[in-house]
Amino acid sequence: MTREENVQKQLAGRFPEVSATIRIARERRIFVDVPEKRFIEVLDYVREELGFPILCLIIGLDEGERFGIIYVLSSSDGNIVTLKRHVPRESPVIQSVYDRLPNSEIYERELADLFGITVTGLPEGPRYPLPDDWPAGQYPLRKDWKPEMLGSKEAAINE
């Protein structure tokens, strides 16, 4: 049995509700959709017990009704598990994983700035990557955001 199938079997055994969504895209790539309720549990399990301690990246996705958030976890032998969770567009709130994975800070700040997802539990710090005087309520990576939505002041800076 390959490493990927092993991961699939263990994960499905521990969390039956995700078993249908595990997809081995190619060698070393495993995609999993995780229900929001059990997300942290699954994350910890994959991280600690399946041996994927490295957080490569957190990706935000605008899927219309809801936001998808993908956590890309990697093992030291080159395998990648991506865990995807969903939050509703009206109340996009997630708990930070900063206490588990200290390098998540910058990716979570990006989620907050570019998607308007509220991340609770982050330490105090500067915003990233938008400027400090960026108008509130403008989240550039949402699909319904257009550059024209910026006021004339911001547009003038770019001329």
Q: For other proteins, which stretch binds (CB under 8 A), given 1-9, 12-20, 48-56, 88-96?
A: 48-56
Element (H, E) at 109: helix 105-115
Distance CA 7, CA 4 (A): 5
d(CA 52, CA 11): 13
Closest of 17, 13, 99, 108 to residue 58, by C-alpha: 108
Stretch that binds other proteins, among 1-9, 34-42, 67-75, 88-96 (CB under 8 A): 67-75
136 and 127 in contact (C-beta within 8 Å)?
no
Closer residue to other proteins in complex, CB, 66/154: 154
Locate 36 and state its tokens: 């929001």
* Binding-site member from 88, 102, 121, 135 for other proteins (CB under 8 A): 102
24 near other proteins, judged by CB under 8 A: no
Interface pattern 127-146 for other proteins (x via CB under 8 A) = xxxxx--------xx---x-
Q: Using an 8 Å Cβ cutoff, are 35 and 17 in contact?
A: yes
> Closest approach of Cβ 103 to other proteins, in Å?
5
Count of other CB atoms within 10 angstroms of residue 129? 10
- Contacting positions for other proteins (CB under 8 A): 25-26, 28-29, 31, 53-57, 59-62, 70, 72, 74, 76-80, 82, 101-103, 105-107, 114, 125-131, 140-141, 145, 147-148, 150, 154-156, 158-159
